[in-house]
Amino acid sequence: MRIGLVNDSIIAIEALRRTLAQRPGFEVAWVAHDGAQAVSMCAPVPPDLVLMDLVMPVMDGVAATREIMRRTPCPILIVTSDVGHHASLVFDAMGAGAVDAVDTPVLGASDLARPASALLAKIDAIAALQADAGVPQMAAAPPAATRTDALVAIGASAGGPAALATLLGRLPANFGAGVVVVQHVDDAFVSGMVEWLDQQTPLTVRLAQPGERPSAGVVLLAGGNRHLRVDASGRCVLTDEPKEAVYRPSVDVFLQSVAENWRARAVGVLLTGMGRDGAAGLGAMRTQGFITIAQDRATSAVYGMPKAAAEAGAASQILPLAAIAPQLAAMFGTV
């Protein structure tokens, strides 16, 4: 894997080099010391991955991410000194197309003082997404207990925060369905994302809790380190299974549980993101007769997840981002 490094700190660059040296097959493609350099270097030497800092001179990491995704799209992982402290910038970068974010490893007296394991795990996950070229299977699901509540189940990854802000921001405060969102997000800043999204929409946004039922006018966000499911009673369940899933929480795991257990009205929505997480789950929902929506290519920051759903026939509708909220409002009305 050829990796571009973007950071204005010589010490941080050295820490990143030492981290990548731990893995055979990881190669530094180039080093840029600001966002503008990174944008200009991506075209002549396209990397398999860019490790992007946030705060830099000339062009910051958010603007650089946006430009790279516009000109020469490639996976971008935000690697910055403190993702929690820079939460709002992290969400902006993810909205521009970054896949994920992690703290920068720190050099100690003789080695890495802040462990490199978290960064390596993120890179491994991105590599697994890139390698996954299989066709998702749309599994049929058995009937379950009848539910009386309406549900909108949304999955998103890279580019998701901005897309979610747009979609949720256009729903009325008295929207007639509960909303559950599974966004690929690190546990270190999931609470910050809840607060940020709550400011973008008239709906109430909070972290999904075990035993809680989705309710009209409320958006429940899956946490960053466990899968979220709904059981046959319509309650939220947090689980570590399946452990082999590339991302936790997994969009597929949640949408599959909706297909298996939710028997009232529901719509599945798959937004921008890298990879194909969510395509199989959306297909399972469609097999069970639910309406399923995938974001279109033109409005997706990263046309990976919705593309996989569209190609598998998992989406009954393919819509531009701006049209999804009006469609949902027309379906569910208000309470």
Taking only the tens place, the pLDDT of each residue in 145-202 is 334 489 999 999 999 999 999 999 999 999 999 999 999 988 878 888 999 999 999 9
List alpha helices for 21-73, DSSP H: 35-42, 61-71
Burial class (CB in 10 A: 0-12, 13-18, 19+), 129: buried
Mean pLDDT estimate for the chain: 89
Confidence of residue 135 (pLDDT cuts 50, 70, 90): very low
134: pLDDT strictly greater than 60 = no
pLDDT of residue 251: 97
76: pLDDT strictly greater than 60 = yes
Per the CATH hierarchy, to which homologous superfamily does domain 2-131 belong? Response regulator (3.40.50.2300)
Q: How many CB atoms lie within 10 A of CB 17?
A: 13
Helix (H) / strand (E) containing 287:
helix 279-287
Provide, rounded to the nearest whole percent, the portion of the chain with pLDDT above 90. 72
pLDDT of residue 141: 40
pLDDT of residue 140: 40
Catalytic residues: 157, 184, 277
> Once rounded to an integer, what is the mean pLDDT over residues 275-289?
94
Q: What is the pLDDT of residues 208-256, one digit of tens each?
A: 999 999 999 999 999 878 999 999 999 999 999 998 888 889 999 999 9
Domains 2-131 and 151-332 share a fold: yes
Dist CA 119 CA 105 (whole Å): 8
What are the sequence ranges of the domains in the chain? 2-131, 151-332
> Once rounded to an integer, what is the mean pLDDT over residues 78-96?
88
* CATH 3.40.50.180 correct for 151-332: yes
Contact criterion met (CB below 8 Å) for 14 and 52? no
Q: What is the pLDDT of residues 47-75, one digit of tens each?
A: 999 999 999 988 999 999 999 999 999 99
Helix (H) / strand (E) containing 36:
helix 35-42
Contact criterion met (CB below 8 Å) for 90 and 135? no
> Once rounded to an integer, what is the mean pLDDT over residues 27-56?
94
Residue type, 48: D
Dist CA 272 CA 166 (whole Å): 12
In order, the DSSP letters of 107-136 are E-SSSEEE-SHHHHHHHHHHHHHHH--PPP
110: pLDDT strictly greater than 90 = no
136: pLDDT strictly greater than 50 = no
